[in-house]
Structure 1
């Protein structure tokens, strides 16, 4: 099955790879970031003390290189024991026979918020253990709303209102109404998928059928076209963090963003609010794109069984809560708990990030996630720039995705 593995996932040349296979008594962990989170550091030490024959040895690798490194080692036959990966890659890894299943019990599945397990599920089983999770909500600048003549305490609840408010801001102020990101960057697809999942849309269904070309997704793409004139000019020049900087500078009225934006806004003079993502006409309830990163256990490391055990150990509820609270800003909790209830009670801005989960949808799992991204980005950009009408762009994208499913 390794012949199925696509070069798009490898991302780097295999020539010159010098890494050695993991030792039989060592679980190597490709750890993404610039440092080990203090919570993980503490519990790795606890694990190692309890498992002297199977010590976990993390290797910190920068975000831009870590997944390529894990992929290269696995494809070269020298896999790490475990690696932090984007869950969107799990299907590709699984079909390439590079990772092992990490099935969950019914009790383990039930402990997560709805739909999260689906982000790591392919062919009826799980191929990774979720370790990081993000959702989005809508921020609005109350000062800009006042300047435009809008009620600063009434954010939009529907796409129709969102577009109308953006138009009002653009026409009555020198600010942009909405911050739409359409740069050639992965989060351009993510930003659009939040609209898809707030209108009950899908990209690919459980039977592996491409269902992108649907009335629900067409409505989302049409809404993108309709809000573009009232967004920051030149949307294709910005990815989401660059657009967030414009919002933090007080130059845009509304923005969908992660909870880390609330942390940053606390240090500004902006009068702001955050609410649920506005809903499309076919929405069944509050929604959002559910993005998870996971721990994948690689095949032929010699420590697969213990690596699975460790992956479940390091992501168990009390450790995960400590990681989410003190680790990377912007993580949404993976599981409901008393600790989450206390967090929401203390800071109400958390609530919309939790509310959107119930009707949220996962990053679509494809055999070539880079191919998926490229098709979706091209579709969005063609509509935002006016080079294609929504239906034309949608049909073209749906046909292109058949190659990558």
Structure 2
């Protein structure tokens, strides 16, 4: 494997400006949400070795309190130099002037997989170094499909998916599809997988315009409504990881999951993995989700912090994350000098990469809980037949305006 020279980015990041001399001791801080990997430790050690007099104090904080701690410190005027955050927090941090744009060089931007930078983009500006990327695909239990008397061929369109699900319902004791409708973020994610596969948009990443109230959204919500008849009982009580359990128990024939599904499904299931079926106005897509390494404003060494962010979110540290965690590759690693990256010539990974071009980001708003409610209310409304599809989408568009 050829190694990407991460620290060589420094001269590009600083635009040719001479690196400052650190004759005196300089302390930087890095807040890590979750556990620190050996690859992260190595990246920090290499960074310190390349910058005499610089020490990076690393604090690993559980996800439940990590992001709040970073926001609190930044708002109090004592920000960490860099922090690992969920990208969904970026809008809040930008609106409160707590972070600076990510100084990602143009040539490196071109090496990201399609759509990745949209996950950290607000009105055309990139505010984080993308980290931990995932996409989604459709898992099919071929044993159930064949028990129903059908050939196990992946549905390419919504109509084909509905027809296959109906065949399973009519000829087995299982449900045709797993449908998430619980008050949880992956209810929104599930809807966005289908929306992006129908050419829909939530928020324009270049202009910040609310695009949710559209014909594409209405078609997608109608599709979710149609799925209820072939789904497990009581979808509003289920979230995605519970659907995995139903899939393992042979109680649903299909559901949408991330690439980690392969390692979470029973080995005796004859499963097929395929792109998310597409609607009448789109191609098979996926929600694109990342975390991000952000550079905080006010540390006094933001340029140096950009280098540390680059060390953590590129090169061997990033490759190790993608490969060891079983994530969709965040870079076109072959373009960065890697020989035979882990996803190359692997049909499984090609499926999860296929949805990137037509995919879209988790929308970035200041209040994520309000965003989640916009979609949960809309999806639960159609599952329970509380209102018409048209009215539910109109209301959701108005609620999104408030959430933004």
TM-score scaled to structure 2, two decimals?
0.89
Distance 1:271 1:340 in 2: 32
Residues 188-227 of structure 1: pairs in structure 2 closer than 5 A: 188-205=187-204, 206-227=206-227
Report the counterpart of residue 359 of structure 1 in structure 2: 358
State the Cα distance separating 1:98 from its structure 2 match.
Answer: 0.9
Residues 236-275 of structure 1: pairs in structure 2 closer than 5 A: 236-265=236-265, 267-275=266-274
Classify the secondary structure of the residue corresponding to 2:84: strand
Report the counterpart of residue 103 of structure 1 in structure 2: 103
Report the counterpart of residue 11 of structure 2 in structure 1: none
State the Cα distance separating 1:348 from its structure 2 match.
Answer: 2.0
Could you tell me whether the CA contact under 8 Å between 2:175 and 2:252 is conserved in 1? Answer: yes
State the Cα distance separating 1:63 from its structure 2 match.
Answer: 2.1
Could you tell me whether the CA contact under 8 Å between 1:103 and 1:125 is conserved in 2? Answer: no
Classify the secondary structure of the residue corresponding to 1:138: strand
Residues 278-308 of structure 1, C-alpha deviations (whole Å, 9 max, x = no match): 011101x331111111011111223322111
State the Cα distance separating 1:341 from its structure 2 match.
Answer: 5.5
Could you tell me whether the CA contact under 8 Å between 1:148 and 1:169 is conserved in 2? Answer: yes
Report the counterpart of residue 302 of structure 2 in structure 1: 304
**Alignment gaps of 5+ in structure 1:** 1-22
Query: Is 1:57 matched up with 2:53?
Result: no
**Alignment gaps of 5+ in structure 2:** 1-23
Distance 2:110 2:313 in 1: 15
CA-based RMSD: 1.9
State the Cα distance separating 1:143 from its structure 2 match.
Answer: 0.4
Report the counterpart of residue 336 of structure 1 in structure 2: 332
State the Cα distance separating 1:213 from its structure 2 match.
Answer: 1.3
Distance 1:216 1:116 in 2: 22
Classify the secondary structure of the residue corresponding to 1:281: coil
Residues 91-170 of structure 1: pairs in structure 2 closer than 5 A: 91-152=91-152, 154-170=153-169
State the Cα distance separating 1:340 from its structure 2 match.
Answer: 8.6
Report the counterpart of residue 9 of structure 2 in structure 1: none
Comparing 331-340 with 210-219, greater Cα deviation is found at: 331-340
Report the counterpart of residue 12 of structure 2 in structure 1: none
In structure 2, do the counterparts of structure 1 residues 234 and 27 end up closer, same or farther at CA, with 3 Å as the change threshold? farther
Residues 190-241 of structure 1, C-alpha deviations (whole Å, 9 max, x = no match): 1110111001001122322222111111111100000012112121112211
Report the counterpart of residue 180 of structure 1 in structure 2: 179
Report the counterpart of residue 90 of structure 1 in structure 2: 90
State the Cα distance separating 1:390 from its structure 2 match.
Answer: 1.4
Residues 297-331 of structure 1, C-alpha deviations (whole Å, 9 max, x = no match): 111223322111110122223331122112x34x1
Distance 1:94 1:113 in 2: 24
State the Cα distance separating 1:345 from its structure 2 match.
Answer: 4.6
State how many pairs are aligned: 377
Report the counterpart of residue 25 of structure 1 in structure 2: 26
TM-score scaled to structure 1, two decimals?
0.88
State the Cα distance separating 1:69 from its structure 2 match.
Answer: 1.9
State the Cα distance separating 1:355 from its structure 2 match.
Answer: 0.9
Report the counterpart of residue 376 of structure 1 in structure 2: 375
Query: Is 1:233 matched up with 2:233?
Result: yes
